[in-house]
Structure formats: structure tokens, C-alpha cells
Structure 1
Amino acid sequence: MSGSGVLDVMGQVLVVLGGLVFLAAGVGLVRLRDVYARSSATATAAGTGISLVLVGVFLLHPSWPGAGKLVAAVLLQLATSAVGSMAVARAAYLVGTPMHTASDTARPDDLAHPHTADDAGRSDHG
């Protein structure tokens, strides 16, 4: 198998793996019980799935201009998917969306009493 044939196979495998990541995220959207877990599933799929598909497509059609675009697209996707997921989860938390717990015992909510801006400037050390 020539070098080009190896790149073609690797590219196709990565594209299929990226598609499987999206499939798993789609199943997660249906199966997961709360917005926080669903947000995590979509952010993971967005970051990992898009990256796999983009790298796979690059291996199928390699070029120097394409390499620069690939790096930029992957970095921007990884950064924005994480920020978007956190924004969705924070908005859900701020409007009081309940979190699913696996057991009947409630966990303490560490975010229930956030520190104010005045607390951030104070120090107990002097």
C-alpha cells in the first residue's frame, strides 16, 4: 500500500470515528437525564467529533493551506465548544434547573451561596 493509500484509510477511519462520536452524543441527548449531562455530551461531541472529522478530511485531501485552516478550526472548535457548554450549564443552574441525583440522599450544593464581589477582595490573612 502506498503512502497515499495509508493516508486515505486513516482519513476514512477518522471520519467514521468522528461520526460515531456524534452518534454517541445523539444517544446521550435522548438517554441522559438532565441538562448538565446533556450539555457535557454535546460539548464533548462538538470538540472531539469535529476534530476527528476535520483531521480525517485533511488526511484525505492534504495541502499546506489546508493544514493551517485545520489547526485554526480545531483550536477554535475546542475552545468554543467548552465555553458554550459552560454557558448553557450556568444558565440552567441560574434559572434553577434541578440536577438529577442517582440516590435519594441529596448532595450539598457548593454553588448555592456564591461569594460576593466584596468577599473576593477580602483576605483572612491580614
Structure 2
Amino acid sequence: MTAFLDVLGQAMAVLGGLVFVAAGVGLLRLRDPYMRTSAVATAAGVGVVLVVGGSVLTSPTVSDLAKLFIAVVLQLATSAVGGMTLARAAVLSGHAFADGTDTAALEPGERPGHG
């Protein structure tokens, strides 16, 4: 069983690393700050969970499981909030959207509760 957990943990860590590589490629290839923010926030949430979860599986202890739980909860909460904050800052600073992006919900008279 220990060998299986070790292999699974290593596979999860490698997969998490690949998620970060994909996010890095996304930073170079995506067209506007909003798409880039989405890629990075998603990678932060998923990639960290996979890497930390994989490292815990290679050496599972009760204290490491508690640390994993805390790290996952904090990472998922902060990556979502951070991603939304960066996107909002880009909107407020006037960064252009990529061609073809529907921005109708951002018009002052179109937002729910603001019309």
C-alpha cells in the first residue's frame, strides 16, 4: 500500500507541476489580462492542491494531513479572491478586452441593481 501511495503522490505532484507549466504558457499566449488572470488563478488553486496533496501522499501522517487540509482551504479561498481582484483592477484601470469579448454586463445601465 505504501508503494501505491508513493507512486500516486509522485504522479499528483508531477500533474500539479504540469498545471503550472500550462498556466505559464497561458500567460504568454492568452490575449488579454482577464484571460491571463483566469489561467493563473485556476492554476494556483488546482496546481497547489495537486502538488501539496501529492507530497502528503508520499509521506502520510496525521499532522501532514491537517496541514494539507489547511493549505488547500486557504489556497482555494485566496486564489479565487486574488484572481477576481486582479481582474477588477484591470477593468478599473481601463485595460482593453480581447476582440469578441462580450462586455455588455459591464455597461453602467446593464448591471443588475444599477439600472
Equivalent position SS for 1:110: helix
Deviation of 1:108 (Å):
4.8
Deviation of 1:101 (Å):
2.0
Q: TM-score, normalised by structure 1?
A: 0.84
Bigger helix fraction: 2
Question: Which one of the candidate residues 87, 90, 94 is aligned to 1:92?
Answer: 90
Confirm whether residue 27 of structure 1 aligns to residue 25 of structure 2: yes
Equivalent position SS for 2:104: coil
Q: Would you say how many aligned residue pairs link Structure 1 and Structure 2?
A: 113
Letter in 2 for 1:111: L
Change (3 A) 1:113 1:62: same
Letter in 1 for 2:71: A
Deviation of 1:112 (Å):
2.0
Using the alignment, how far apart are the partners of 1:16 and 1:82 within structure 2? 23
Larger Rg: 1
Structural RMSD (CA): 1.8
Using the alignment, how far apart are the partners of 1:37 and 1:107 within structure 2? 13
User: Mapping of 1:1-126 within 5 angstroms?
Assistant: 3-102=1-100, 107-113=102-108
Provide Cα deviations, 1:57-110, integer angstroms capped at 9, x if missing partner.
0001110011111001001000100000000000100111110024xxx74521
Change (3 A) 1:42 1:65: same
Deviation of 1:114 (Å):
6.1
Using the alignment, how far apart are the partners of 1:69 and 1:114 within structure 2? 46
Between the aligned residues of both structures, percent identity stands at: 52
Structure 1: where are the runs of 5+ without partners?
Answer: 121-126
Letter in 1 for 2:77: A
Using the alignment, how far apart are the partners of 1:17 and 1:50 within structure 2? 10
Q: Which runs of 4+ in 1 moved over 4 A?
A: none
